[in-house]
Amino acid sequence: MSTSSLALLLLLSAVPMLCQQTAPPAADNNPRLRGEQAFTENGCPQCHTVHQHGGTKGPDLSAVGSRLNDEQIRSQILKGGKQMPAFGGILQAAEADDLVAYLHTLRDADKTLKKP
């Protein structure tokens, strides 16, 4: 086998490895990321604003983690209250845990500016 044929063979065998993309960090290992995804997938932004994105029917949650502890957040999600419906019969326990993990990280009062 000639040197050029061997080089071509090596190059072609490396193409599949070069084409593989590095996947972004998996959300399945990060409760906060899973919670952020669950927040969106369960329609929470229809009523709640986070960092100037979302609805205005419910309270702005941009700094909810600085106002409520984990158990208070969990209770509000599962039992509802005021004008919020209860989601205890809708969400799986793990989903509720992930939502609490995400909402607990929302502590930035500087980003709670009201929409114009």
pLDDT tens digits, 66-109: 999 999 999 999 999 889 999 999 999 999 999 999 999 998 75
Residue 20, in any domain of the structure: no
In the DSSP assignment, the letter for residue 17 is H
pLDDT the model gives residue 98: 96
User: What CATH number does the domain containing 55 carry?
Assistant: 1.10.760.10
Helix (H, G, I), strand (E, B) or coil at 16: helix
Residue 96, in any domain of the structure: yes
Residue 22, in any domain of the structure: no
Q: Give the chain's domain count.
A: 1
pLDDT the model gives residue 16: 54
Cα angle, residue 52 at apex, residues 50 and 56 outer, rounded to 5°: 75
pLDDT the model gives residue 116: 40
Residue 87, in any domain of the structure: yes
Residue 71, in any domain of the structure: yes
Q: Do residues 73 and 66 make contact, with C-beta atoms less than 8 angstroms apart?
A: no
pLDDT tens digits, 10-42: 545 555 554 454 445 555 789 999 999 999 999
Residue 82, in any domain of the structure: yes
Residue 78, in any domain of the structure: yes
pLDDT the model gives residue 14: 54
DSSP for 22-62, please give it: PPPPPGGG-HHHHHHHHHHHTTGGGT-EETTEE-SSS---T
Residue 64, in any domain of the structure: yes
pTM score: 0.69
Q: 54 is in which domain, residue-wise?
A: 27-111
Phi, psi for 77 (deg, rounded to 5): -65, -50
